[in-house]
Amino acid sequence: MEQQGSGFRFFFYLIGFSAIFLAFIYTSVFSYQQYANLRADLTTASNNNDIQLRAAMAMRAAVRERAILLWQMTLLETPEDRKQLFNTFYSQGSEYHKSRLTLLNTELDHPEQSILAKLDKQAANRTPELRTFSELLTDNRVQNFRLELSKVLKDKTTIAGFLDQFITLQQVQNEDIWQDSAHKMEGLLSELITRMVLIISGGFLFAVYVMVTASKQNKMIRIANQELRHLACHDNLTGLPNRRFLLHQLDIVLAAAKRKQHKVAIIFIDLDDFKPINDTYGHDAGDLCLQDVSNRISKVIRGSDMLGRLGGDEFLLILSEIESSTQAIAVIQKILGIISEDFPIGESTTNLSASIGLYIYSLEDINAEEAITLADKAMYQAKKMGKNQFYII
């Protein structure tokens, strides 16, 4: 009987050991697969959203540049002078359509498709007015374009408004992606802990092993959460804070400045004529230049200052707790100097310059978005003044 009992216990222990071991193996593999799937889904969604955001911003920039060119053409005295700007005008149109095709090749949800449909309809309806205005610009008999320019610029503003809606939608979707991933990660952690508790209750001999394993997996999940947060708040190319994170931090900085009665400098940096680098040397070289620019700027600012990338070739620098605009101007001059230095590309070098807008926050009642908009306007003024310089608004 004892031998039979021993044999039964051995068989029972063997079954228990096997069940606990298999349960542990199944839990580990299942959790890893869930995490891998979640990370893959997040990467795919983030990349798709990033492509859409870059394309929409490129379309927005093309609309802006075309509006500026139309305005500049009305200031010229002869049709011959205006014709010289038409090539640039049509080139910006090509950039617009190229970015639009890029956007259409991504995975678009219903709200995005709706905005693009409205945008295309608006652009198609306004094409005759733009064609008529273009014909007026080449007519020697017409000297005053104020009324026609106002209509065309209004149309451009409407189209830009749709693009702004699309860009805002992308930013909201980025935040939703992160929140959804965090929620799923919390669910995965909850399920993992439940399985571990069941495994621990199955046998004392495996308690220590299960606790060590659970600790390792919890650490892996914490690291994964940190990576997800980093992906959601930082630019993939340069590692700098992205627009969403900059807006959040700038709101905090402005609130602190208002409370402590300090000034804050918001510096909007836009690289001049960056597109030819991508066209000539390829996007990989352009990416290396953007990384080099971010590294150079980081070396001339304080540790308490924040440098971020808004997208494309646009950067934002926040100088907190400054005494006057003189400090900000000194930093801007350093930035202009280091950007103007040669950039190595393979066995050759290339040159860059930047247009910089500066807005000094002096306890005004505005939020981060409005502060960035003011700095952006100042940057546009710097470009109009001839680029490679700065403008204070």
**Alpha-helical runs (H) found in 76-109:** 79-104
Q: Lowest-confidence range among 126-140, 174-188, 233-247?
A: 126-140
State the amino acid at position 368 in one-letter form. Answer: A
**Is the pTM value of this prediction over 0.85?**
no
Per the model's pLDDT, the better-predicted residue between 347 and 146 turns out to be: 347
Residue 1: its pLDDT value, please? Answer: 46
Q: Is 346 left (phi over 0), alpha (psi -120 to 50) or beta?
A: left
pLDDT single digits (tens) 78-100: 667 777 777 777 787 788 888 88
Could you tell me the two tokens for 318?
Answer: 């926040």
Residue 13: its pLDDT value, please? Answer: 47
Q: What percent of the chain is modeled with pLDDT above 70?
A: 80
- Position 248 confidence tier, pLDDT thresholds 50, 70, 90: very high
Per the model's pLDDT, the better-predicted residue between 212 and 277 turns out to be: 277
Residue 309: its pLDDT value, please? Answer: 94
Q: Exposed, middle or buried by CB within 10 Å (0-12, 13-18, 19+), for 308?
A: buried
Using the predicted structure, report yes or no on whether residue 2 has a pLDDT greater than 50: no
Using the predicted structure, report yes or no on whether residue 5 has a pLDDT greater than 50: no
Residue 54: its pLDDT value, please? Answer: 86
Q: Distance (Å, rounded) from C-alpha 370 to C-alpha 348?
A: 41
Q: Lowest-confidence range among 66-75, 287-296, 299-308, 314-323?
A: 66-75
State the amino acid at position 97 in one-letter form. Answer: H
Residue 124: its pLDDT value, please? Answer: 73
Q: Distance (Å, rounded) from C-alpha 116 to C-alpha 170?
A: 13
Residue 270: its pLDDT value, please? Answer: 95
Per the model's pLDDT, the better-predicted residue between 149 and 391 turns out to be: 391
Q: Lowest-confidence range among 57-61, 173-177, 263-267, 374-378?
A: 173-177
Q: Select which of 50, 235, 305, 313 is catalytic.
A: 313
- Please, are residues 366 and 385 in contact by the beta-carbon 8 Å criterion? no
Residue 328: its pLDDT value, please? Answer: 94
Per the model's pLDDT, the better-predicted residue between 231 and 370 turns out to be: 370
Active site residue 313: yes
Residues 10-18 have a mean pLDDT of 58
- Please, are residues 200 and 210 in contact by the beta-carbon 8 Å criterion? yes
Using the predicted structure, report yes or no on whether residue 8 has a pLDDT greater than 50: yes
Using the predicted structure, report yes or no on whether residue 211 has a pLDDT greater than 70: no
